[in-house]
Structure 1
Amino acid sequence: MSINDHRLVQCNEKDEETLLIFKKGINDSYNGKISTWSTKKDCCAWEGVSCDNITGRVTELDLKQHFLEGEMNMSILKLEFLSYLDLSFNEFDVIRIPSIQDNITHTSNLLYLDLSFNSYVSSLSLAWLSAHSSLKYLNLSGIDLHKETNLLQAVNTLPSLLELHLSECNLNNFITNPFMEYLNLSSLLTLDLSKNNFSSQLPNQFFNQTKDLTYLDLSWNNIHGSIPHSWKNMKYLDYINLWSNKLSGEALVHLSGWKQLRIMNLGENEFSGTIPINMSQILKVVILRANQFEGNIPTQIFNLSYLFHLDLADNKLSGSIPKSVYNLTQMIKFTMNDRTMAVVELFTKGQEYEVQQIETNRQTIDLSANYLSGEVPSELFHLVQLQTLNLSRNNLIGTIPKIIGGMKNLESLDLSNNKLCGEIPQSMSLLNFLEYLNISYNNFNGKIPTGTQLQSFNASSYIGNPKLCGAPLENCNIKEQNPKTPTTSMKNEDGDSIRESLYLGMGVGFAAGFWGICGSLFLIRKWRHAYFRFVDGVGDKLNVTLMVKLNRFH
């Protein structure tokens, strides 16, 4: 429902006619909202239409994600006072460009144009863009533009452009186009060229034009080589996303000049070198996952008060996790949630997610798959706002401190494949929001603390700890369930000693008696003869007695 339902000034008739022409080519059988456009109702009250309260002229048309099909008739741009047009995330299969006789003659007031992700549009000619030189925002993402030979020229006719989004447009030759050196992007603040299958190096001259870029997204391409030296001059860069390319070299040497940087995603590349200590102090997101970074983790990174997402996983980092007073305010104190539009890969709860916006209440520390050693510092467990902690696949030693029970917001904990030992603290059963747990393949021992939280995970969360027992693993044996007290242990040890002495004495006595008699018979002849005579006599007596008994019986 439009906010202009209760207007006093009616919709302009010319604008109404243009809207009805636009409606003719549309099939909205899914939700039928455009079908309600009718002359029986003021057009300023139509679905998605907004008008100026004084003039009654249409100023905005927002039909984002209305499941519209059919023809997108760009004659809608004949609306003289239209400043905002969003037809994104629909299912148009044709974009109809006005013919010569329908060309727009008035000065365009269009500032915002979003035609992105109309999944069935296969191509689009952009010559008509030149009539809209006032554009500040242009989004054509998801439309195949690989046949458009004049794309750069069309963009160059938009001197006021602040944001340009061309993600997933199949622009594999865009940054190697010879016209690139003539491109004027001096006003541009946001440039999104992600997922275009680029397979070249980054040209120096391109970024000379965008010194002031604040947002640069070249993720999900095949760009190779190193970062150009000209990038050192991008002092106002706020957001950079180079995720999943083939870039190499010591990328982080450029960071010393990027004092305005808030979000840095260099993951899934082949960058090398060490992590510098003089990074931007307002960094919120640091993603260096899956590269070749080495050396120690600098203490300074844990003193970035705005940082809430740190991902250094799958590198060659070594040494111990810094032991210091962590000043990660976002992970210690509760703060109001803040959302930043940023496409990032989020690894949590044993899975990978792509999120379109990252929120400050999704605090993450992932240091997994490195060569880190030493004990896990207790300071790490003071980050009570942390939701995801992954230290798996390192060489960490020591125990889990009891203070882990204070991390009440923890949802995902992975300590697997380390050399951690000791008992699992009872306080872990207090982690009521824990949805994913993996402490497998360590040296933990004793009984898993009783509590519905820890028993809710299956055995795979605990396997590889031979001395660990209790549900969901096999039950502990009696001795482990009822450990002996020192007094009982001493008594049992004394009893065992007495029994051993008794059995030893009986054995020695039997041996002495046996060999005392048998040895004497063997060594002294008279005794031997007397013994055998005695045995023969006893035998004769037994024989006579037996015969007498038999005769009496007969």
Structure 2
Amino acid sequence: MMTIITTQMPLLLLLLLSLTTFHKCMSINDHKLVRCNEKDKETLSIFKKGINDSYGELSTWSTENDCCAWKGVTCDNITNRVTKLDLQSLPGEINMCILELEFLSYLDLSFNEFDVISFTTIQHNITHASNLFYLDLSFNDLQMDNLEWLSPLSSLKYLNLTGIDLHKVTNWLQAVNTLPSLLELQLSYCKLNNFIINPSIQYSNLSSLLSLDLSYNNITSQLPNWFFNLTKDLTELMLQENNIHGEIPSSLLNLQNLRYLDLSVNQLRGSLPDGISQLPNIQHLGLYSNMLSGSNIPSTLENLSSLNYLSIGRNNFSGEISENTFSKLSNLNCLELASSNFVFQFNLDWVPPFQLSYLFLSNTNQGPNFPSWIYTQKSLQYLNLSSSGISLVDKNNFSSLIERISYYLDLSNNFLTGDISNLTLKGDTLYLSNNSYTGGLPNISPNALKVDFSYNSFSGSIPHSWKNSKDLQSINLWNNKLSGEVLEHVSDWTQLWILNLGENEFSGTIPIKMSQYLEVLILRANQFEGTIPTQLFNQSSLFHLDLAHNKLSGSMPECIYNLTQMITSIIDSFPRTTIELFIKGQDYPSNIQSERRTFDLSSNSLSGEVSLELFRLVQIQSLNLSHNNFNGTIPKEIGGMEHMESLDLSNNKFCGEIPQTMSLLNFLDYLNLSYNNFDGQIPIGTQLQSFNASSYIGNPKLCGDPLNNCTTEEENPQNATASPENEDDDSIRESVFLGMGVGFAAGFWGICGSLFLIRKWRHACFRFVDGVGDKLYVTLMVKLNSFHRN
């Protein structure tokens, strides 16, 4: 009998396996045959009507398909009812009739483009007990006036409204208090203003809350004591990036289960509560950038043995940081003490009990020696020691350290020297600016994104290995001693946003092929020559162009300037850096945010007329064409450049009159038109007359205020131009004088002519003259004889 059972066992096992496989196949077929509930289908169809599906994202939502097969819809295999809806990348309206789905337990509409939300009949239509436990509407362009629609959702455990404008909602706390099952609440970026509480309401329903995120709001109140009594089981509390002021309440210590606390970037004052070191489970402590003070922090930290994240920099803490502070912090993974007043006292042979991935000690007094304990950190991915007074390093250990950092390295603004050309830096963000490095540039990894090696003494050409870094977004090599041509490199950097090669000795021609994303191009003070390529004016993203102080020649390209960023005001989300600007006649750099629109071709050998297209770039704020050989006139279109703040056309051969439209440049703060061939009157207007004579000198034929070399008539054009009445008077006066002259001449020659032609008249005239002469003679002789007798 035992033998028979044994021999039949394989057969039985095969039969069981076949039955299992058949059951699974039947289950799969059943799933394929799931038919959507008609009521659910109708609700989904109403929801779809509010969606603008111009891209066909919901093409499967048709009557020909079963709604359980629609994109983003999940149904229960047994009940055929919709239980889950998960949709992204859709614009339009959220019709919250979707909550009428009786068996819906999971609703994720995050990361869409919904800008309207409708709650018209929701309160009346939800007559069933809601099964919804997960609701995510985050990152939509929505605004809500109240949260009362949440009250029927009694099963809700996860609620995420991140990014929704709730600034009109004053009772958000009361609204979420109606959700007794809530475990996680995310309300970051919601423009919440204050903690507002109604004393008559009991908030016991929030006792199950484990995670609360109110970060990145505009909460301007203090932290009330009652806030930390809402729930004793809270494990995560995020309040960073608000305007919370006052002191940290001692009631914070009630949260004994707290693992994650972030109060960074607020306006908190005073000291930390004395018992904070007794929070046994705290792992993440973020207090960065407040106004907290006290010298007991180092001793407080000693007992937080669970800490893996500590960020307390940019406060007013003091005291001595030593190896004793970290003796029990074996789990520490991130340490941030930037811009702090701590005194660092570490033994040279100290080996920490932790291995950090993130270390931020910028603006601390670490130097002159590089902290030796950092060499022991083999897992560092982010290191920031900028502005820390470091000048001396252990060459081998230092080289090994910075070569293995894989993400972020910032050693800028120190006193580091030496030749690092033989190193290959693996980080994607590399900041070594404002040091004294010499020799060639180091190699960088193919993953590099941002490189700033400015203000050093690097020499030689750009390493060939840089061609492989095709994802580079920002390169700043300003003020070094670099040379060679850059053409072969630039064409490979197809993702580049910022290229700053200024103040070097680069040569060759300006590259024709550049990244289509290029926003900032600075080639100032090099040896570039040749003409400006036409393709450069096709860079639609370019808004800062500086080619000054080179050897460029030829004329401005005659083409359509497709510099969209200089024509229209476009706000770009790309993170900005500070760049060197030469504006308003100043010959030194000013660190100004790079959103400023600048066009600088000064100090080259460019000639010809300036293209009219240039004066149609109406968003330009600084235009400098000085010290070239440009000629021609300034077109009247310059008056449309209404954002202009700095204009320098000096030392060229511009001629003609200054257009009257320039008086419309109301923001003009610096103007230099000197040493050209302008003539005529300086246009009258408050703006142009506000500059002194130095803005106009060197134009001999130019006159008007503020110049003093105009004639009276030129200075008073109204007087120089006669009125019609004066013109008539002058004509009459001229006619009278002309008539008198003609009459005198005619009478004189008429009498003389008659005497000459008529003898009788001539004899009579002579007799008359002789008679008069005789009479005068007799009279004179009688008078003389009478005088002698007397």
TM-score tier by shorter-chain length is: 0.7 to 0.9
- What is the percentage of aligned positions where both structures have the same residue? 44
Q: State the AA in 2 paired with 1:283.
A: L
SS at 1:348 equivalent: coil
Please give the alpha-carbon distance, in whole angstroms, between the structure 1 residues aligned to 2:396 and 2:712: 74
Please give the alpha-carbon distance, in whole angstroms, between the structure 1 residues aligned to 2:737 and 2:661: 45
Task: Choose between structure 1 and 2 for higher RCO, CA contacts under 8 A separated by at least 6 residues.
Answer: 1
Please give the alpha-carbon distance, in whole angstroms, between the structure 2 residues aligned to 1:373 and 1:152: 55
Asked if residue 122 in structure 1 is aligned to residue 367 in structure 2, the reply is: yes
Q: Give runs of aligned pairs for residues 143-542 of structure 1, distance below 5 A.
A: 143-150=388-395, 152-153=397-398, 155-156=400-401, 159=404, 161-175=406-420, 180=422, 185=425, 187-202=426-441, 206-207=442-443, 210-338=445-573, 340-351=575-586, 354=589, 358-360=593-595, 362-474=596-708, 477-479=712-714, 481-482=717-718
> Alignment partner for residue 3 of structure 1, among 219, 239, 251?
239
Contact 1:341 1:356 survives alignment (8 Å): no
Q: State the AA in 2 paired with 1:62.
A: I
Aligned to 2:787: 550
Asked if residue 96 in structure 1 is aligned to residue 345 in structure 2, the reply is: yes
Q: How many residues align?
A: 504
| Aligned-pair CA distance for 1:215 | 1.8
Contact 2:579 2:594 survives alignment (8 Å): no
Aligned to 2:85: none
SS at 2:417 equivalent: coil
Please give the alpha-carbon distance, in whole angstroms, between the structure 1 residues aligned to 2:319 and 2:276: 24
| Aligned-pair CA distance for 1:41 | 6.5
Please give the alpha-carbon distance, in whole angstroms, between the structure 2 residues aligned to 1:89 and 1:272: 41
Change (3 A) 1:68 1:315: farther
Change (3 A) 1:159 1:254: closer
Please give the alpha-carbon distance, in whole angstroms, between the structure 1 residues aligned to 2:398 and 2:597: 43
| Aligned-pair CA distance for 1:332 | 1.2
Q: State the AA in 2 paired with 1:97.
A: F
SS at 1:113 equivalent: strand
Please give the alpha-carbon distance, in whole angstroms, between the structure 2 residues aligned to 1:229 and 1:116: 32
Q: State the AA in 2 paired with 1:262.
A: W
Please give the alpha-carbon distance, in whole angstroms, between the structure 1 residues aligned to 2:322 and 2:736: 102
| Aligned-pair CA distance for 1:287 | 0.4
SS at 1:37 equivalent: coil
Structure 1 unaligned regions, length at least 5: 16-31, 513-532
Please give the alpha-carbon distance, in whole angstroms, between the structure 1 residues aligned to 2:555 and 2:731: 47
Please give the alpha-carbon distance, in whole angstroms, between the structure 1 residues aligned to 2:552 and 2:726: 47
| Aligned-pair CA distance for 1:497 | 12
| Aligned-pair CA distance for 1:232 | 2.7
TM normalised by structure 1 equals 0.76
Deviations 1:256-300 (A, max 9, x none): 222122211111111111112111221111100001111110111
Please give the alpha-carbon distance, in whole angstroms, between the structure 1 residues aligned to 2:474 and 2:377: 28
Q: State the AA in 1 paired with 2:362.
A: S
SS at 2:781 equivalent: helix
Q: State the AA in 1 paired with 2:407.
A: L
Contact 1:338 1:359 survives alignment (8 Å): no
Q: Give runs of aligned pairs for residues 27-176 of structure 1, distance below 5 A.
A: 36-39=271-274, 48=288, 57=307, 59-64=309-314, 66=315, 71-73=320-322, 76-77=325-326, 79-80=329-330, 82-90=332-340, 94-97=343-346, 103-105=351-353, 107-108=354-355, 110-118=356-364, 121-150=366-395, 152-153=397-398, 155-156=400-401, 159=404, 161-175=406-420
SS at 1:453 equivalent: helix
Contact 2:333 2:358 survives alignment (8 Å): yes
| Aligned-pair CA distance for 1:341 | 4.3
Please give the alpha-carbon distance, in whole angstroms, between the structure 2 residues aligned to 1:431 and 1:49: 42
Change (3 A) 1:316 1:287: same
Contact 2:524 2:547 survives alignment (8 Å): yes
Contact 2:648 2:671 survives alignment (8 Å): yes
SS at 1:478 equivalent: helix
| Aligned-pair CA distance for 1:67 | 6.3
* Greater displacement, 472-481 / 325-334: 472-481
| Aligned-pair CA distance for 1:490 | 12
Please give the alpha-carbon distance, in whole angstroms, between the structure 1 residues aligned to 2:289 and 2:582: 40
Contact 1:11 1:58 survives alignment (8 Å): no
CA RMSD of aligned residues (A): 4.6
Deviations 1:505-543 (A, max 9, x none): 9xx99xx9xxxxxxxxxxxxxxxxxxxx99x99997686
Please give the alpha-carbon distance, in whole angstroms, between the structure 2 residues aligned to 1:170 and 1:84: 26
Contact 1:112 1:136 survives alignment (8 Å): yes
Contact 1:470 1:476 survives alignment (8 Å): no
SS at 1:403 equivalent: helix
| Aligned-pair CA distance for 1:446 | 2.1
Change (3 A) 1:311 1:184: closer
| Aligned-pair CA distance for 1:96 | 1.6
Contact 1:390 1:414 survives alignment (8 Å): yes
Please give the alpha-carbon distance, in whole angstroms, between the structure 2 residues aligned to 1:500 and 1:398: 48
Contact 1:305 1:330 survives alignment (8 Å): yes
Aligned to 2:94: none
Deviations 1:111-147 (A, max 9, x none): 43222233x5432343322443333221112334332
Contact 1:11 1:57 survives alignment (8 Å): no
Please give the alpha-carbon distance, in whole angstroms, between the structure 1 residues aligned to 2:728 and 2:669: 46
Change (3 A) 1:49 1:370: closer
Please give the alpha-carbon distance, in whole angstroms, between the structure 2 residues aligned to 1:232 and 1:154: 23
Please give the alpha-carbon distance, in whole angstroms, between the structure 2 residues aligned to 1:329 and 1:152: 49
| Aligned-pair CA distance for 1:59 | 2.5
Please give the alpha-carbon distance, in whole angstroms, between the structure 1 residues aligned to 2:533 and 2:522: 15
| Aligned-pair CA distance for 1:412 | 1.2
User: Which one has the largest radius of gyration?
Assistant: 2
Deviations 1:357-384 (A, max 9, x none): 7433x11110111111111111111111
Contact 1:124 1:143 survives alignment (8 Å): no
Q: Give runs of aligned pairs for residues 5-24 of structure 1, distance below 5 A.
A: 9-10=255-256
SS at 2:548 equivalent: coil
Q: State the AA in 1 paired with 2:456.
A: N
